[in-house]
Structure 1
Amino acid sequence: KAFNVVKGFLNLELSDHYFLQFFSLVKNDTSYGIVTPQPGKKAIMVEYSSPNTNKPLHLGHIRNNLLGYSVAEILKAAGNNVYKTQIINDRGIHICKSMLAWQRFGNGETPKSTGLKGDKLVGNYYVKFDQEYKKEINTLIAEGNTEEEAKKKAPILLEAQDMLRKWEAGDADTVALWKTMNGWVYEGFEETYKNLGVDFDKLYYESDTYLLGKEFVAEGLKTGVFYKKEDGSVWCDLTEDGLDEKIVQRADGTAVYITQDIGTAIQRIKDYPDVGGMVYTVGNEQDYHFKVLFLILQKLGFDWAQNLYHLSYGMVDLPSGKMKSREGTVVDADDLITEMTQTAEDISKELGKLDDFTEDEKQSIYRIIGLGALKYYILKVDPKKRILFDPKESVDFQGNTGPFIQYTYARIQSILRKSGESELVTLSLAETALHPKEKELLKQVQLFPEVVQNAAEMHSPALVANYTYDLVKEFNSFYQNVSILGAETPEEIAFRVQLSKVVGTTIKNAFALLGIEMPERM
């Protein structure tokens, strides 16, 4: 429409016609911003959650699951085929500790007999083991041992180590107990995943994959990627790449953690030959581990190893400090989900927003608001930053929160319900003159596809979250300054209603990428 140059900057003013053309393209597009994958395009595998099977999921897992799930959905929306996966750490000394404590102190109790979720029950015995272990250490110190000696000699630890050896040797009773207790944990996890709204296409288990890397250690020795030390242990020298030497197999021939990661990565490509890259959602304390893993896979000659990405993230703190699961002071994921729903209920009641809803409708909305608050509060922060999570602040109906955005969406749905037939009015867009607020709103809507692509490239749901907040602020400014249902002509009403609908669709599509449901009314 017009342009000028100020201090070397070219300023363009776009014509109404340009915005109206865009509007007519998107007004009925329910999947606006979402790209369909092209046939033959390489897929991406996204790993997240990957818990140990000796305790329930906690607050750290919540950030992990929400990030991994959201990044997978964003990559999909950007036009990629995506597989969601996890590796379940179902073997090792940690699970033997829970098993041993249950054998000693459990009196045969089960999730059914106690009414506890299976992961909670097994987690209680992990805490019990730690309590007994500490008692034994104190006794040994009192008998004249140093603390270091006591930690190694405590009978309960020696017994747990013996149990691990039995498991590795395939002892029938040990394996049977291991299967039973892991089964309890998986049922508990399933329930948590369902409540959190995350899912997986394929599960890997450490007990299946821990032997996988060993053949590649042998292969790497042949090709000179690895070398043997005098004691028989196998190493990879990464000093030329600015990293240290890394052990990949112990002197006694047993695998270390990275060996199994090597095996699992290779197995995944065998299972899914269309995968061309992987994203690992793991906390930032593992940054170095993944540098080493990716480099070793490149040295072993896998071309897909160039396309591995560690989605690293910071800790989550609560106002009351960090979390430890050995002492049983951990913040449980289930408890937090329940607390969020309760907080949403308390605040909704205070505001009296749901007085004319049935009890079932209310419960459903409390859950949608509570989970939306939790997910948004966590996902709006750049993954690399540490988070101080404040449940009460996250459920505020004002400001940069999930409920504020959900409330705006519900307001738009209410406008659409009240507008009746005005959506059916045929607009002759050629003669429509736009209000500046309408232009600003369309400008904001127009950014969405680009935001999705950027978020996919950066592996950052925070870009989608904060874009949605900006869009909602723009809509609320439009709503306050421009009369929608009270506009002067039927055409104006129809245009503003349809524009509101486009904004609603964009908000809904953006929030779906964050795994957040939308209430039709609030």
Structure 2
Amino acid sequence: MDFIIDATIKAVEQLYQTNITAQDVNLQQTRKEFEGQVTIVTFPFTKFSRKSPEQTGQDIGAYLQANLPEVAGFNIVKGFLNISIADVYWLAIYNNVVCREEYGVAARNGKKVMVEYSSPNTNKPLHLGHVRNNLLGYSVAAILHAAGYEVIKTNLVNDRGIHICKSMLAWQMFGDGETPQSSGLKGDHLVGKYYVIFDKEYKKQIDQLKINGKTEEEAKKEAPLMLQAQQMLQKWEGGDEDVIGLWKTMNGWVYEGFATTYKKLGVDFDKYYYESNTYLLGKDIIEEGLTRGVFFKKEDGSVWIDLTEEGLDQKLVLRADGTSVYITQDLGTAQLKYNDFGMDESIYVVGNEQDYHFKVLFLILQKLGKTWAKGLFHLSYGMVDLPSGKMKSREGTVVDADDLIAEMEATAKEQTEALGKTEGLSDADKQHLYYIIGMGALKYFLLKVDPRKRLLFDPNESVDFQGHTGPFIQYTHARIKSVLSRVGDIGSTASIKTLDPVERDLVITLSQYQETVTQAAKDFNPAAIANYIYELAKAYNKFYHEKSILQAETEELKRFRSQLSASTANVIAQGMRLLGIEVPERM
């Protein structure tokens, strides 16, 4: 509310003959237990007024009320001046801003941003951690687009290395030609099955070697399976046709499986990058850095960078035998992505266990003089835990994404039927509703928490229709649609002059949506949207229970409340869409 800030600056100048700036005015939202909508902190002004915070607030409040028609009144609580804004102001905001068709979608700002997320390995299915990653990346991309950015969604697939060779070798040795078609397994689950088989057989060989007198380290290095997997990797890097053929076949199975899971999660990508195509790219950058003195060579020929002055350590960027390490590849891929798209910002959605890696990566790129490196950002998120015993994974270690989705649908079905919310729906509509509710519950629960925080996910709690959940918000949307279906044609803008407190609260909350989107985009934080939509749903339900819509006192009031309901449904649908959540028309 810039007009309040401007008027406060003038008030201080006229009342106390002191010039201040907008930065000196601390404006806050009034706490719910006090009357008013905007609060000015008066403590900083006492050095000019030479009065108590309360008397200073009285002076400024009286000035604002006398000079601003938008100020209906004020009250003072210690050093806080709480201002009540007149209904005419809120109605103007509602009619001229909230009711616009484009409300909530900013004009294009001319900036381009890349969001990289998912980044799976091709030796196993997606798991619970990938679910948070995918939902977070997709939502951040949607929020940035709503805030005016051109957004490119990318997925860097880790499709090479010893991990995929382990699955390939195990399939060769124990698979007997099994395929997704012959087994009935999704391709990613089939390949993951052989990765697990490799691990079990590898551990048997280690145990046997230890019995034969080897140390654990010696056994791990000398186990025949590991030696064979390393040999297979060397053949892959050497372009062996048979190995490359098997690699393409098994990765193809995995990609089909991933595509199914991505579709269920409701996420997509504009561009895929594959490590098999990018892992050599960084070597030219290393040579460039050596020439410019950014890197240095040790006696064994390995290449390093010294980051001790920045509070880090010395970091290996190329092995003595000339082979790449992860940072080598990531340097090259970062350059490739910039060459392809020339984006202003690039966001890496990766778990917080990689915090150090990205500090090093971004710092190296800056030292190499890459001007675009200042636009790189690591969206570091915490792990997701499940209450013990709530769900079991196929292998007893991590929760599989497909199992989680199925569990969410089943939980949604159980709770929806228990509440009797499926009457009159066809079997197909019921199944779709269970999917919408289950995925809404999952997505909302994972996104309502600040990305940086570790969270505990409880499937049953997430589907509570009365709690701080996706289904509660979905049900609110369906309730509004049900009311509007009985209203019929809403008609033109209603002409009313005053607002009931619950109407005013709802209008004020609606007016905060665009600002919430802008801030969420700035912070890369879907939780801001999730929590805002929850507060909006709560405000609407309070309004719904306290004020009749169909039986309003006048036709004009009925039309206004109907329009208010339609605006709320629109903002709920928009906000949930930014979280990747569908809202049903009926429940």
Q: Which amino acid letter does the alignment assign opposite residue 428 of structure 1?
A: S
Q: Which runs of 5+ in 2 are unaligned?
A: 1-70
The yes-or-no answer on 1:112 pairing with 2:181 is: yes
User: Counterpart in 2 of 1:271?
Assistant: 340
Instruction: Find the aligned partners of 2:319 and 2:166 in 1 and give their Cα distance.
Output: 23
User: Counterpart in 1 of 2:25?
Assistant: none
Q: Which amino acid letter does the alignment assign opposite residue 225 of structure 2?
A: I
Q: So what's the TM-score if we normalise by structure 2? A: 0.86
SS in 1 for 2:114: strand
Deviation at 1:140, TM superposition (A): 0.8
The yes-or-no answer on 1:428 pairing with 2:495 is: yes
Instruction: Find the aligned partners of 2:299 and 2:469 in 1 and give their Cα distance.
Output: 59
Q: Which amino acid letter does the alignment assign opposite residue 176 of structure 1?
A: G
Q: Which amino acid letter does the alignment assign opposite residue 377 of structure 2?
A: Y
Deviation at 1:378, TM superposition (A): 0.3
Deviation at 1:32, TM superposition (A): 1.9
Identify the match of residue 372 of structure 2 among 304, 308, 323.
304
User: Counterpart in 2 of 1:461?
Assistant: 526
The yes-or-no answer on 1:495 pairing with 2:570 is: no
Output one character per residue of 1:58-90: Cα deviation in whole Å (capped at 9) or x when no partner: 000000000011011111111111100011000
Instruction: Find the aligned partners of 2:181 and 2:359 in 1 and give their Cα distance.
Output: 44
The yes-or-no answer on 1:44 pairing with 2:113 is: yes
Instruction: Find the aligned partners of 1:322 and 1:309 in 2 and give their Cα distance.
Output: 35
SS in 2 for 1:352: coil
Output one character per residue of 1:390-420: Cα deviation in whole Å (capped at 9) or x when no partner: 1111011011000000000000001110101
- 5 Å matches for 1:467-486? 467-486=532-551
Deviation at 1:467, TM superposition (A): 0.7
Instruction: Find the aligned partners of 2:125 and 2:228 in 1 and give their Cα distance.
Output: 24
Instruction: Find the aligned partners of 1:333 and 1:434 in 2 and give their Cα distance.
Output: 48
The yes-or-no answer on 1:337 pairing with 2:405 is: yes
Deviation at 1:146, TM superposition (A): 1.4
Larger deviation, residues 322-331 vs 161-170: 322-331
Q: Which amino acid letter does the alignment assign opposite residue 135 of structure 2?
A: L
Deviation at 1:18, TM superposition (A): 1.0
Bigger relative contact order (CA 8 A; separation at least 6): 1
User: Counterpart in 1 of 2:481?
Assistant: 413
Assess if the C-alpha contact under 8 Å between 2:98 and 2:510 holds in 1.
no
Q: Aligned in 2, Cα 1:319/1:8: closer, same or farther, shift over 3 Å?
A: closer
User: Counterpart in 2 of 1:351?
Assistant: 419
Q: Which of the pair has more CA radius of gyration?
A: 2
Instruction: Find the aligned partners of 1:325 and 1:170 in 2 and give their Cα distance.
Output: 36
Q: Which amino acid letter does the alignment assign opposite residue 136 of structure 1?
A: Q
Larger deviation, residues 27-36 vs 258-267: 27-36
User: Counterpart in 1 of 2:311?
Assistant: 242
Q: Which amino acid letter does the alignment assign opposite residue 98 of structure 1?
A: S
Assess if the C-alpha contact under 8 Å between 2:305 and 2:316 holds in 1.
yes
The yes-or-no answer on 1:290 pairing with 2:358 is: yes
Output one character per residue of 1:436-470: Cα deviation in whole Å (capped at 9) or x when no partner: 11111101111111111111111110111011111
Assess if the C-alpha contact under 8 Å between 2:493 and 2:560 holds in 1.
no
Q: Which amino acid letter does the alignment assign opposite residue 17 of structure 1?
A: V
Deviation at 1:327, TM superposition (A): 5.5
Q: Which amino acid letter does the alignment assign opposite residue 491 of structure 1?
A: E
Deviation at 1:27, TM superposition (A): 5.5
Assess if the C-alpha contact under 8 Å between 2:95 and 2:493 holds in 1.
no
SS in 2 for 1:515: coil
The yes-or-no answer on 1:177 pairing with 2:242 is: no
**Equivalent residues, number:** 516
Output one character per residue of 1:311-336: Cα deviation in whole Å (capped at 9) or x when no partner: 00111111128999995532110111
Instruction: Find the aligned partners of 1:165 and 1:136 in 2 and give their Cα distance.
Output: 22
Deviation at 1:308, TM superposition (A): 0.8
Instruction: Find the aligned partners of 2:228 and 2:92 in 1 and give their Cα distance.
Output: 74
Identify the match of residue 2 of structure 1 among 67, 72, 75.
72
Q: Aligned in 2, Cα 1:420/1:322: closer, same or farther, shift over 3 Å?
A: closer
Assess if the C-alpha contact under 8 Å between 1:32 and 1:505 holds in 2.
no
Deviation at 1:10, TM superposition (A): 3.1
Q: Aligned in 2, Cα 1:453/1:490: closer, same or farther, shift over 3 Å?
A: same
Instruction: Find the aligned partners of 1:442 and 1:250 in 2 and give their Cα distance.
Output: 62
Identify the match of residue 578 of structure 2 among 508, 513, 520.
513
Q: Which amino acid letter does the alignment assign opposite residue 4 of structure 1?
A: F
Q: Aligned in 2, Cα 1:25/1:394: closer, same or farther, shift over 3 Å?
A: same
User: Counterpart in 1 of 2:436?
Assistant: 368
The yes-or-no answer on 1:60 pairing with 2:125 is: no
Q: Which runs of 5+ in 1 are unaligned?
A: none
User: Counterpart in 2 of 1:158?
Assistant: 227
Assess if the C-alpha contact under 8 Å between 1:323 and 1:330 holds in 2.
no
Output one character per residue of 1:312-365: Cα deviation in whole Å (capped at 9) or x when no partner: 011111112899999553211011101101110111111111121111111111
SS in 1 for 2:378: strand
Identify the match of residue 377 of structure 1 among 445, 449, 461.
445
Q: Aligned in 2, Cα 1:349/1:454: closer, same or farther, shift over 3 Å?
A: same
Assess if the C-alpha contact under 8 Å between 2:317 and 2:325 holds in 1.
yes
User: Counterpart in 2 of 1:199?
Assistant: 268
SS in 2 for 1:424: coil
Larger deviation, residues 352-361 vs 400-409: 352-361
User: Counterpart in 1 of 2:37?
Assistant: none
Larger deviation, residues 79-88 vs 10-19: 10-19
User: Counterpart in 1 of 2:146?
Assistant: 77
Instruction: Find the aligned partners of 2:391 and 2:296 in 1 and give their Cα distance.
Output: 40
Output one character per residue of 1:245-291: Cα deviation in whole Å (capped at 9) or x when no partner: 11100000001000100000100011112x01100000000000000
SS in 1 for 2:488: helix
Larger deviation, residues 120-129 vs 452-461: 452-461
Q: So what's the TM-score if we normalise by structure 1? A: 0.96
The yes-or-no answer on 1:446 pairing with 2:511 is: yes
Assess if the C-alpha contact under 8 Å between 1:27 and 1:498 holds in 2.
no
Identify the match of residue 96 of structure 1 among 132, 140, 165.
165
For the aligned residue pairs, the C-alpha RMSD in angstroms reads 1.6
SS in 2 for 1:336: helix
The yes-or-no answer on 1:148 pairing with 2:213 is: no
SS in 1 for 2:281: coil
Q: Which amino acid letter does the alignment assign opposite residue 376 of structure 1?
A: Y
Instruction: Find the aligned partners of 1:17 and 1:457 in 2 and give their Cα distance.
Output: 31
Instruction: Find the aligned partners of 1:493 and 1:253 in 2 and give their Cα distance.
Output: 75
Assess if the C-alpha contact under 8 Å between 1:30 and 1:505 holds in 2.
no
Larger deviation, residues 70-79 vs 13-22: 13-22
SS in 1 for 2:528: helix
Assess if the C-alpha contact under 8 Å between 2:487 and 2:562 holds in 1.
yes
User: Counterpart in 2 of 1:190?
Assistant: 259
Assess if the C-alpha contact under 8 Å between 1:31 and 1:509 holds in 2.
no
Identify the match of residue 298 of structure 2 among 210, 229, 235.
229
Q: Which amino acid letter does the alignment assign opposite residue 452 of structure 2?
A: K
Q: Which amino acid letter does the alignment assign opposite residue 3 of structure 1?
A: G
Instruction: Find the aligned partners of 2:564 and 2:259 in 1 and give their Cα distance.
Output: 40
Q: Which amino acid letter does the alignment assign opposite residue 495 of structure 2?
A: S
SS in 2 for 1:11: strand
Sequence identity, in percent?
63
Q: Which amino acid letter does the alignment assign opposite residue 166 of structure 1?
A: K
SS in 2 for 1:95: helix
SS in 1 for 2:552: coil
SS in 2 for 1:427: coil
